[in-house]
Amino acid sequence: MEEKKFQPYIPADKVMPEFTVFSVILGAVLAILFGGANAYLGLRVGLTVSASIPAAVISMGVIRFIFKRDSILENNMVQTIGSAGESLAAGAIFTMPALFMWATEGLCDVPSMVEIGLIALCGGVLGIMMMIPLRSALIVKEHGNLGYPEGTACAEVLMAGEEGGAKASTVFWGLGIAAVYKFVADGLKVFPSEVDYTIDAYKGSGFGVDVLPALAGVGFICGPRISSYMFAGSTIAWFVLMPLIALFGSDLVIYPATMSVAELWAKGGTWELWGKFIRYIGAGALAAGGIISLIKSLPMIVRTFAAAFKDYGKGSDGVLRTEQDISIKVVLVVCLAIAVFMWLFPGIPVNLIGALIILVFGFFFATVSSRMVGLIGSSNNPVSGMAIATLLIATILLKATGSTGGAGMVGAIAIGSVICIIAAIAGDTSQDLKTGFLLGSTPKKQQYGELIGVCVSAIAIGAILYLLDAAWGFGSEDLGAPQAMMMKMVIEGVMGGEMPWALVFTGVFIAVVIEILGLPVLPVAIGIYLPIHLNAGIMLGGLVRLFVEKRKYASEKAKTSSIQSGILYTSGMIAGEGVVGILLAVFAVLEINTDISGTVDLGNIGGLVLFAGLLATIVLFANKGAKSSK
């Protein structure tokens, strides 16, 4: 089998420093910093950036070049702990600000920092625990099928730093070029990072591309097949569904909109149609795609659980270091204990039904999220789409059992918060375990590291949310909290009986048709849910990979070397954008303004030209790899 043939960078029989006091302290500091920066970024624009690669780059700089410590596994432990802060923050900010907004409306009390911290802690620990039994199925057995682009990129960055030479040079060229590009685009704002065009002749449609290095990098690593499935989903949404809505619903007011489709189009064009309607269709497609994916994965999941129970009691004697996980029985006991705690502890507004919903749907979305990030990466993981699907089901069940009004809405958002965090942390854990799998880390020690990162971040997230709310207020112009506003609207819509179920079920049956056609549902569903601009950037990276693969080479070795060099370079590109993304978030918190667009503005054309140049650099470095193989 393939997993037996794979040899990690550090052999299983070699032991070196990994889970050290130094790595825990540095990782915990990075977890808090990345958590705070991403909380602000997500509340401001509705998106977060993956922290795994920036954490790896920083840890490599601190450990290897400042403290002269020489352990790639210690570097990996730092990024494992540090990235947990970003993921937990992403899950929390997409839901919990709704509680603050309801408090200002008099529907509930402002949640305490203890309540926020406990909800985040429960979700984070559950996310890690629910991912552990899936490691063998998704990381080991699916190696070669699930790329985990950021996990792979992170491993490439760390290995390049370890080996030095041409490999390190390629990674750091990608990092440096992407960092400068990202800062010019989103820091100096010399050209827009999102090019957007409305097609007036085909009302309801539009096109654009996010001209960002990380998207091109993800597309190159994922390859043309996955990229094309995602772009197909966006094509359905932006060139079929939205024009149909504009054509047939022109004079209609369709909830959740409060004005006619024609007025929405006049107000904000394609973005109004996408935000008001397509996101619900995409959420329905994601939920259906997730269920289909889980059903198809059940046999492998059952075999994994059975094998874990069979091995329990044998201890770790005779088990390779790289195959050791936290015991499956410990996983089950912890999950049940947390469910009981959430049910009985008065500070968490979750009843028995809510606790059961969290266990069932938490594992479901942990599975879906872990598989999804293997396809498209953590930065593009539609956690909010999964949270919307959860909130729909949870709110319906709570309403049916008599939990209505303010109490029912608070209970629903608490359930949604925990599951949103579960999905985010499970995805992050998957990427980190993939990195560890490639490097030869000890899974059990990485899982301990994830738990430490979650605990530290949970303690800090309450204070971070209070600070941001006090500074600007959630839902304000400065801190719009778009994802939380969406969650708030979904719960109020269900409780008030105004949920657009037709849109949700449209997405469900689109997913069913895709499955009948034999296409992979999740990538297409993600494409429907996410804007076409993002998927177009990924598609272009996939097309560059296709070009590199289809060229004529002197030998198979040259072709392999060319593709590998491209992966190294694009790994650096993902890292460069991630590092600058965190830096810009810090600048925003400190109110440092770097915008010079009033003086220099290249416009959309300039952005497209520069992005084309960036794509050309991928081909350039891939060619260098082919030449070096001679």
Residues 538-554 have pLDDT tens digits of 899 999 999 999 888 88
Torsion sign over Cα 206, 212, 213, 215: negative
Residue 399 pLDDT > 70 = yes
List beta partners, residue 195. Answer: 209
Residue 467 confidence (pLDDT): 81
Kindly state the DSSP code that residue 13 receives in the 8-state scheme.
T
Paired residues of 210 in beta bridges: 194
The amino acid at 602: L
Extract the tokens encoding 619: 């081909």
Which pLDDT score, from 0 to 100, does residue 165 have?
57
Mean pLDDT lowest among 45-54, 173-182, 333-342, 575-584? 45-54
Please state, in angstroms and rounded to a whole number, the distance separating the CA atoms of residues 30 and 82: 5
Residue 388 lies in a domain: yes
Of the segments 222-226, 348-352, 526-530, 617-621, which one has the largest average pLDDT value? Answer: 617-621
Residue 1: pLDDT band with limits 50, 70, 90: very low
Confidence class for position 308, pLDDT limits 50, 70, 90: low
What pLDDT is attached to residue 311? Answer: 53
Give domain status of residue 8, yes or no: no
- How many residues are given for the chain? 630
* Tally of structural domains, the chain: 1
pLDDT, mean of residues 47-68 = 71
Average pLDDT over residues 62-91: 84
Using 50, 70 and 90 to split pLDDT, how confident is the model at 180?
Answer: very high
| Longest Cα separation, the chain | 72
Helical ranges in 472-589 per DSSP H: 482-495, 501-516, 521-529, 532-550, 556-589
Give me the domain span that covers residue 542. 18-628
Helix residue ranges per DSSP H, 46-109: 52-59, 72-93, 97-104
Separation of alpha carbons 603 and 203, rounded Å: 24
pLDDT at 12: 86
Residue 1 lies inside a defined structural domain of this protein: no
In a domain, 7, yes or no: no
**Neighbour-count burial for 601-630, b at 16+ CB within 10 Å, e otherwise:** ebebebbbebbeebbebbbebbbbbbeebe
Q: Is residue 5 part of a domain?
A: no
Residue 89 has pLDDT above 50, yes or no: yes
Look at 107-111, 226-230, 267-271, 467-471 and tell me which has the smallest mean pLDDT: 467-471
Mean pLDDT over the full length of the chain: 84
Instruction: Give the integer Cα–Cα distance in Å for 91 and 94.
Output: 6
Task: Tell whether the model's pLDDT for residue 435 goes beyond 50.
Answer: yes
- pLDDT for the residue numbered 2: 43
The pTM assigned to this predicted structure is 0.74
Q: How confident is the model at residue 46 (pLDDT cuts 50, 70, 90)?
A: low
Residue 577 resides in a domain: yes
Amino acid 403: pLDDT: 79
**pLDDT per residue as tens digits for the range 560-599:** 888 878 887 887 787 788 778 767 767 876 778 888 888 8
Q: Which DSSP state fits 146? A: B
Instruction: Of 4-13, 90-99, 159-168, 611-620, give the lowest mean pLDDT range.
Output: 159-168
Local confidence band at 301 (pLDDT 50, 70, 90 cut-offs): low
Q: Which range is least confidently modeled, 375-379, 444-448, 600-604? A: 375-379
**528 vs 483, which has greater pLDDT?**
528
Decide if 323 is inside a domain: yes
Look at the block and give the residue holding tokens 């790289």: 322
More reliable by pLDDT, 232 or 159: 232
Q: What percent of the chain has pLDDT over 90?
A: 30
pLDDT in tens, 512-540: 999 999 988 878 888 888 889 988 998 99
Task: Give residue 47's pLDDT band: very low, low, confident or very high (50, 70, 90).
Answer: low
Question: What number is the average pLDDT over the span 144-156?
Answer: 82
pLDDT for 3: 44
Find the distance separating the first CA and the last CA of the chain, reported in whole Å.
31
Mean pLDDT of 181-199: 90
Residue 135 located in a structural domain:
yes
Per-residue pLDDT, 439: 93
> For residue 309, what pLDDT is reported?
61
Q: How far is Cα 451 from Cα 445, in angstroms, rounded to an integer?
A: 10
Does 232 have pLDDT greater than 50? yes
| Among 561, 540, 559, 546, residue whose Cα is nearest residue 214 | 540
Scanning the structure block, which residue is given the tokens 């072709």?
A: 559
* Mean pLDDT confidence for 459-475: 83
